[in-house]
Structure 1
Amino acid sequence: MDRPASDLAPALEPFSQSAALSLGVELELQLVNTHHYDLAPYSDEMLRLMARHQLPGSVVPEMTSSMIEISTGVCHSASEVLGELSQIRDALVQCADKLNIAVVGGGTHPFQQWHEQRIYDKPRFRQLSDLYGYLSKQFTIFGQHVHIGCPTADEALLMLHRMSRYIPHFIALSASSPYVQAQDTQFDSARLNSVFAFPMSGRAPFTLSWDHFGEFFSKTTRTGVVKSMKDFYWDIRPKPEYGTIEIRVFDTPLTVERAAALAGFVQALASWFLHEQPFMPQEDDYMVYTYNRFQACRFGLDAVYVEPSTGAHMPLREHILQTFRQIGEHARRLGAGPGVQMLGEDVELGSNDARWLRLKQRRERLLAEVVRQGALRFRGQS
């Protein structure tokens, strides 16, 4: 007799132990040709060439064949993240030059047509394509994911819900996707609109108990809607196999320096949470969550931020600078000070990568030229 479906539901794997405040960074990157700077389906060729290099972390394919994902190993500081990302970046550039293509950051390619993209030939990607249809090709978008180490599962959930208040900060600081299919979307981060189309996107359920989270996971998997934690496209999700939480709302920056600075900001923020316990998250925090996230996607650093505890409205830019002051000592102690200072200077100027892209397009009036200059910026030449 067949076993009931409830007996076949996968179990939530145990939460691995990791060092508090350890870091890992993933970057999804664009592969473009060097003729008209549209996306180019060269991920297989890039992976073969990259396999010849001894590098930290990993280089893997992504959903469509014009994408590639790089990741660091386990790091303990923003400078270590920068060192590893720079090493991988230099190898990527060398391999791309051999193929007469280029590698570019940014959350979206400014003028690619989603229907022209090819799903990478990997079982999970084929399964996702079968399930989600055209959304899979529209998922040719590029994000940075930051993992932060948490010693225990309950501490991870506490960290996750504290970090959720700062989702607008992460979005505005990393925003680099104003253009979609050759149109200025009027969003600083249009990439996240594609993520929100997926049914399991949004935010994690509010619980500070891993046992309760396990009950939620069991109920969800019994329905057959999800099979593993990978099927949740939440803004922040636990990664029990790594002993981390993974923040997923960052657009891929145009430079590895900015990627490392954003990781340092996350680490300093986490240190502030751990050592000063500035607030206890509540379910009611999420009453303003969707509004704050929309504001940051739409307006970037010019967004309005609603403080979850008081309901007070203030410019997001001011709240980011206030946060930088609060975490300043932690950033200095962890070696993240220079990166946070760089981000702070940009905030004061109202500058992020979305603004850089728009300024270039205003000057050049040709998105292909903007992508070309973005490729030079990624390799450290602009």
Structure 2
Amino acid sequence: MNIPSIGVEEELLLVSATGNPLPRNQAVIDSLPDLDVTLELTRAQVELNSPVCDSAAELDQALRSLRSDLAGAAASEDARLLAIAVPPRGAAAQLITKKARYREMADRYGLLAREQAVCGCHVHVDVPDQEAAIRVSNHLRPWLPTLLALTANSPVYLDQDTGFASWRWVMWSRWPSAGPPPYLESPEHYDALVAMHLAAGTIMDEQMVYWDVRPSSHLPTIELRVSDVPLTVDETVLLATLARALVMTGVEDGPGPKLEPEILRAAYWLAARDGLTGGAVDVATGELLPVAEVLAKLVQYVGPALQELGDEDLVADGIARALSDGNGALRQQRTFREGGDVIALTEVT
């Protein structure tokens, strides 16, 4: 198999000493002129961008360094940097970043935009061309709920236990082009759907195709967007490794399975609510299975790619650790219900 390069974008939250979202992203970024860190939709968010990496170890090192540098810059602005996917305290509506594109989004989408201080993790994986990206998108669709469950990290929102492992998914689903991509027949089919959204005015441009998998509009990659920002670098690297193995498998395979949309919808909802604590819907059959069994099916599916990458142990250890110790969502819920400090748990240092 051809081994593609990977890159990761992590959106992180800036909060005050008391844990309320803090609108200082411009000042934090201005203090880091040499790092690839960018503004996000609300002024309490920043996004770090890893370099293009050829191995999991390289990605791990890059993310640890970027998180550390960004946390230091935040501290210099009296801010705390959180690896969390929704604001754990404060108000729902946030100040919009002073950037023309974001101001237009606020004008067009109103409260939907102002309540979007949600932080995701996006994994870019190299693909040969758009035709390959379309094929890979179809192959990734069955596994999107599983990846969401694995990386869920947003159960606490505005001092409330939402009852969902990924409340970010609930909030993000309100956008007109969010969620799983449709089964795509060809690049022309993709272009036609984007053109429909543009003509209808539901999106401003192709960058607002917010499907959980999409061909990048500006890079020769396919972009996996389903995940909450994970609590730890280990979890982000696990996600990126599984994403790369899925892309490698999809590139080598046929057109991909067509799924019953209602089964996929149910699988998503259950993954967002339960994360790793309940069952999972097998999207091929509609059967409810233990989440560990569905994760095992995923590992088996990408097994040859993981072997080629030399990342079998990394994935096995990462999944075992998530199932035994919990992901970010489970650790947040446990901390919140025991009266602990979710801010301290999720703070990047």
Whether contact under 8 Å (2:148, 2:227) holds in the other structure is yes
CA gap of 1:20–1:160, structure 2 versus 1, over 3 A, is: farther
CA gap of 1:216–1:32, structure 2 versus 1, over 3 A, is: closer
Q: Does 1:257 align with 2:240?
A: no
Whether contact under 8 Å (2:143, 2:298) holds in the other structure is no
Shift of 1:130: 0.6
Which amino acid letter does the alignment assign opposite residue 273 of structure 1?
A: G
CA gap of 1:152–1:371, structure 2 versus 1, over 3 A, is: same
Measured in 1, the distance between the counterparts of 2:323 and 2:197 equals: 44
Q: What SS does the corresponding residue of 1:120 show, helix, strand or coil?
A: coil
CA gap of 1:42–1:23, structure 2 versus 1, over 3 A, is: same
User: Mapping of 1:18-167 within 5 angstroms?
Assistant: 21-34=4-17, 36-51=18-33, 54-55=34-35, 58-115=36-93, 117-167=94-144
* TM score, norm. by length of structure 1: 0.85
Deviations 1:265-284 (A, max 9, x none): 11122223334x3x752443
**Structure 2: unaligned runs, 5 residues or longer:** none
Measured in 2, the distance between the counterparts of 1:348 and 1:216 equals: 38
CA gap of 1:141–1:216, structure 2 versus 1, over 3 A, is: closer
Q: Does 1:185 align with 2:162?
A: yes
Shift of 1:242: 0.7
User: Mapping of 1:340-379 within 5 angstroms?
Assistant: 340-349=315-324, 351-363=326-338, 365-366=339-340, 369-375=341-347, 378-379=348-349
Which amino acid letter does the alignment assign opposite residue 246 of structure 2?
A: L
- Largest Rg, 1 or 2: 1
Deviations 1:312-356 (A, max 9, x none): 332222110232244344324324334312322134427211111
**Structure 1: unaligned runs, 5 residues or longer:** 1-18
Whether contact under 8 Å (2:125, 2:244) holds in the other structure is yes
CA gap of 1:74–1:208, structure 2 versus 1, over 3 A, is: farther
Shift of 1:232: 1.8
Shift of 1:237: 1.6
Whether contact under 8 Å (1:170, 1:250) holds in the other structure is yes
Which amino acid letter does the alignment assign opposite residue 152 of structure 1?
A: D
Q: What SS does the corresponding residue of 2:52 show, helix, strand or coil?
A: coil
Q: What SS does the corresponding residue of 2:80 show, helix, strand or coil?
A: strand
Whether contact under 8 Å (2:83, 2:230) holds in the other structure is yes
Shift of 1:88: 1.2
Give the fraction of aligned pairs with identical amino acids, expressed as a percent: 27
User: Mapping of 1:197-212 within 5 angstroms?
Assistant: 197-212=174-189
| Corresponding position of 2:290 | 315
Whether contact under 8 Å (2:83, 2:346) holds in the other structure is yes
Measured in 2, the distance between the counterparts of 1:137 and 1:250 equals: 21
Shift of 1:166: 0.6
* TM score, norm. by length of structure 2: 0.92
My pick for the range that moved more, 235-244 or 259-268, is 235-244
Whether contact under 8 Å (2:176, 2:203) holds in the other structure is no
| Corresponding position of 1:3 | none
CA gap of 1:141–1:333, structure 2 versus 1, over 3 A, is: same
Whether contact under 8 Å (2:19, 2:89) holds in the other structure is no
Deviations 1:255-295 (A, max 9, x none): 222212210111122223334x3x75244343411110001
Which amino acid letter does the alignment assign opposite residue 79 of structure 1?
A: A
Deviations 1:131-180 (A, max 9, x none): 11111121011110111211021111110111111111111111010011
Measured in 2, the distance between the counterparts of 1:311 and 1:358 equals: 28
Q: What SS does the corresponding residue of 1:249 show, helix, strand or coil?
A: strand
